[in-house]
Amino acid sequence: MTTLSPIVAGTMTWGTAGKNLDTNQMESLIRLYLEHGINTFDHADIYGGYTTEAAFGKAFRQSAVGRDQVKFISKCGIRYPAEGKPYEVKHYLYSRDHIVQSVENSLQNLGTDHLDILLLHRPSPLMHPDEIAHAVEELKSAGKILDFGVSNFTSSQIDLIRSRTEVSYNQIEFSATNWEPMVDGSLDHMILNGIRPMAWSPLGCVFRTDTEQAKRVRMELIEMMAKYGVPGDVIMIAWILKHPAGVIPVCGTTSPERIAELMKATKIELADEDWFKIWVAARGIKVP
How far is the C-alpha of 191 from the C-alpha of 180, rounded, in Å?
A: 16
Q: What is the pLDDT of residues 195-233, one digit of tens each?
A: 999 999 999 999 999 999 999 999 999 999 999 999 999
Give the DSSP letter string of 70-125: -EEEEEE-EE--BTTB--SS-EE---HHHHHHHHHHHHHHHT-S-EEEEEE-S--T
How far is the C-alpha of 2 from the C-alpha of 14, rounded, in Å?
A: 24
Q: State the catalytic residue, choosing from 47, 50, 94, 228.
A: 47
CATH class, 8-173 region: alpha beta
pLDDT at 17: 87
Would you kindly state where each structural domain of the chain is located, as residue ranges?
Answer: 8-173
Indicate the pTM of the whole model: 0.96
**N residues, the chain:** 288
pLDDT at 128: 97
Using alpha carbons only, what angle is made at residue 108 by residues 103 and 114, rounded to the nearest 5 degrees?
Answer: 55
Buried b (16+ CB within 10 A) or exposed e, 81-102: ebeeeeeeeeebbbbbebbbeb
pLDDT at 1: 83
pLDDT at 280: 98
| CA distances (Å), origin 193, targets 113, 129, 153, 252 | 29, 18, 14, 28
pLDDT at 2: 84
pLDDT at 74: 98
> pLDDT below 70 — which residues of the chain?
none
Active site residue 94: no
pLDDT at 210: 93
